[in-house]
């Protein structure tokens, strides 16, 4: 099986031993506490689940700067996006060495993790602006990732952590949320050697389905990991439980048995385009995948990134030996009226725009809200009906 990123063995920070975890939870109740923001809580979940392996915890300002500017920590580990615990007011921490990190996403704010405090540093305006620009390629406050990042506070609380639970993800998505450890174990149990991963924060239409099948065939993979983001999204994105139901119905009806794993991970979307695409590759290598589909405007939003920036970053900025996982480069995929099947547009140079069945996201929402059937060339009817029910509920019809 493919090795985890940066080490021979996966290094999840979740306390597996139940007795030790109980002792740590009991101790945590007596510690000074810091209530996390959702972004830091998601980072803690990812550290616990092994997706951020081999990081030992939250980065300090110097490592964050090094990662933002050079895609490496000061110690030389390749890493694409700083892993930070940012807070607005660190005054409650005092001079303590150990704190409890409380979950902002659950009632009562239970303890999510315990952190050793190595440093608390306040970022200067110039440092803040540089981090934002490097991560997102913009400082525009209208960018949803930038807007979130700007709201988190400028105090960097660094140090190793031990994770006690996986927040709301296990409770709300018991059949879908899986750690990198669990996915590796399932891949091994399936006897899969080559596995192609598909990242999604949206429902999957016919083009996405066929893209997974194309990639699997092209790289001769044994299976496909459909890996959906379960954390916070921007307003207007479809909730995770609806996506989950739609994707599972598609896999049930239109993929060969035992060829796909439908799973999810507990992270908040960054909308950071190229940098986030590389982070997605790290996640999937740690989960045991050998290939990741990187499509047009992968992890992007609006017009902040070029259509293939998330692919070219692997050529221009990622050192050749930095990752073992390979990238499957995809173009827009759509049903060809001429050929009677779904194709990648780059493979149909003789086609005009009207030769493809395409719908904008706005048009899809309008049709589903009005109870109108989507073209079968665009969406499987069973999937469309799940989405239609959601949109009609949202519209109050």
Reported as a single tens digit per residue, the pLDDT across 19-43 is 999 999 999 999 999 999 999 999 9
Same domain, 382 and 304: yes
Task: List, by residue number, the catalytic residues.
Answer: 201-202
Do residues 203 and 134 both lie within one domain?
Answer: no
Q: What is the 3-state secondary structure (H, E, C) of the chain?
A: CCCCCCCCCCCCCECCCHHHHHHHHHHHCCCCEEECCHHHHHHHHHHHHCCCCCCCEECCHHHHHHHHHHCECCCCCECCCCCCCEECCCHHHCCCCEEEEECCCCCCCCEEEEEECCEEEECCHHHHHHHHHHHHCCCCCCCHHHHHHHCCCCEEEEEEEEECCCCCHHHHCCCCECCHHHHHHHHHHHCCCCEEEEEECCCCCHHHHHHHHHHHHHCCCCEEEEEEECCCCCCCCCCHHHHHHHHHHHHHHHCCCCCEEEEEECCCCCCCCHHHHHHHHHHHHHCCCCEEEECCCCCCCCCCCCCCHHHHHHHHCCCCCCCCCEEEECCCEEEECCCCEEEEHHHCCCCCHHHEECCCHHHHHHHHHCCCCCCCCCCCHHHHHHHHHHHHHHHCC
Torsion of CA 12, 16, 21, 25, to 10 degrees: 40
Q: What is the pLDDT of residues 43-73, one digit of tens each?
A: 999 999 999 999 999 999 999 999 999 999 9
Q: Are residues 100 and 220 in the same domain?
A: no
Is residue 136 in some structural domain? yes
Q: Is the pLDDT of residue 350 over 90?
A: yes
Say if residue 191 is in the same domain as residue 151: no
How do residues 296-338 score in pLDDT, each as one tens digit? 999 999 999 999 999 999 999 999 999 999 999 999 999 999 9
Q: For residue 216, is it within any domain?
A: yes
216 and 108 together in one domain:
no
Whether the predicted pLDDT of 92 surpasses 90: no
Average pLDDT value for residue range 160-174: 96
Residue 397 banded pLDDT, cuts 50, 70, 90: low
Q: Are residues 188 and 137 in the same domain?
A: no
- What Rg do the C-alpha atoms of the chain give, in angstroms? 21
Q: How many domains would you assign to the chain?
A: 2
Domain end position, chosen among 167, 201, 235: 167
Calculate what percentage of the chain has a pLDDT beyond 90.
91
pLDDT at 256 over 60: yes
- Sign of the torsion angle spanned by Cα atoms 38, 158, 61, 56: negative
Q: 84 is in which domain, residue-wise? A: 18-167
pLDDT band at 194 (very low <50, low <70, confident <90, very high): very high
Residue 113 and residue 212 in one domain: no
**pLDDT mean over 123-141:** 97
d(CA 321, CA 58): 25
Q: Parallel, antiparallel, or unpaired: how do β-strands 98-102 and 111-116 relate?
A: antiparallel
Can you tell me the mean pLDDT for 150-164? 97
319 and 211 share one domain: yes
pLDDT of amino acid 93: 86
Counted residue by residue, the chain has a size of 397
The verdict on 61 and 114 lying in the same domain is yes
Please give the backbone phi and psi of residue 58, each rounded to the nearest 5 degrees, phi first. -85, 140
User: What's the confidence (pLDDT) of residue 360?
Assistant: 85
The pLDDT confidence band at residue 169, using thresholds 50, 70 and 90, is very high
* Residue 385: per-residue pLDDT: 95
Amino acid 393: pLDDT: 87
How would residue 365 be classed by pLDDT, with cut points 50, 70 and 90? confident
Q: Tell me, what CATH number does 75's domain have?
A: 3.10.400.10
Residue 106: band (very low, low, confident or very high) from pLDDT cuts 50, 70, 90: very high
Residue where a domain terminates, one of 124, 140, 167: 167
Residues 160 and 186 in one domain: no
**Of 39, 14, 12, the residue nearest 231 (C-alpha):** 39
Banded pLDDT at 95 (limits 50, 70, 90): confident
Domain for residue 48, yes or no?
A: yes
Final residue before a domain boundary, out of 167, 191, 214: 167
d(CA 272, CA 133): 10
In terms of domains, do 157 and 179 share one?
Answer: no
Given a cut of 60, whether residue 179 has pLDDT beyond it is: yes
- Residue 97 falls inside a structural domain: yes
pLDDT at 362: 85
**% of the chain beyond a pLDDT of 70:** 100
Torsion angle defined by CA atoms of residues 149, 235, 169 and 180, in that order, rounded to the nearest 10 degrees? -60
The CATH number given to whatever domain includes residue 186 is: 3.40.50.620
């Amino acid at each position: 099986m493919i090795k985890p990123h940066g080490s021979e063995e996966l290094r999840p920070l979740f306390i597996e031993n139940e007795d030790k975890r109980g002792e740590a939870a009991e101790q945590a109740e007596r510690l000074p506490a810091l209530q996390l923001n959702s972004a830091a809580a998601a980072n803690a979940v990812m550290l616990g689940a092994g997706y951020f392996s081999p990081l030992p915890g939250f980065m300090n300002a110097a490592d964050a700067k090094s990662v933002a500017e050079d895609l490496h920590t000061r110690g030389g580990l390749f890493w694409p996006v700083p892993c930070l615990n940012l807070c607005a007011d660190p005054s409650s921490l005092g001079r303590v060495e150990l704190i409890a990190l409380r979950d902002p996403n659950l009632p009562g704010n239970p303890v999510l993790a315990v952190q050793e405090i190595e440093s608390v540093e306040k970022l200067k305006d110039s440092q803040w602006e540089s981090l934002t620009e490097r991560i997102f390629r913009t400082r525009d406050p209208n960018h949803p990732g930038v807007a979130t990042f700007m709201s988190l506070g400028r105090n960097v609380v660094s140090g190793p952590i031990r994770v006690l639970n996986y927040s709301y993800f296990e409770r709300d998505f018991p059949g879908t949320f899986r750690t990198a450890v669990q996915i590796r174990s399932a891949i091994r149990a399936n006897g899969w050697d080559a596995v192609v991963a598909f990242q999604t924060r949206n429902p999957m239409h016919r083009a996405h389905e066929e893209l997974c099948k194309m990639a699997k065939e092209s790289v001769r993979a044994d299976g496909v990991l459909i890996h959906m983001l379960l954390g916070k999204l921007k307003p207007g994105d479809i909730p995770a439980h609806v996506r989950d139901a739609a994707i599972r119905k598609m896999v049930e009806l239109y993929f060969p048995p035992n060829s796909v794993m439908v799973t999810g991970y507990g992270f908040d979307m960054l909308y950071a385009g190229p940098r986030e695409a590389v982070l997605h590759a790290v996640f999937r290598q740690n989960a045991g995948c050998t290939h990741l589909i990187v499509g047009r405007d992968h992890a992007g939003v609006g017009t902040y990134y070029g259509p293939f920036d998330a692919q070219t970053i692997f050529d221009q900025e990622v050192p050749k030996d930095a990752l073992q996982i390979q990238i499957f480069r995809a173009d827009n995929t759509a049903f060809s009226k001429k050929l009677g099947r779904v194709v990648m547009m780059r493979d149909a140079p003789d086609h005009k725009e009207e030769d493809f069945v395409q719908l904008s996201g706005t048009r899809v929402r309008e049709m589903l809200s009005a109870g109108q059937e989507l073209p079968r060339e665009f969406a499987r009817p069973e999937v469309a009906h799940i989405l239609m029910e959601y949109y009609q509920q949202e519209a109050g019809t």
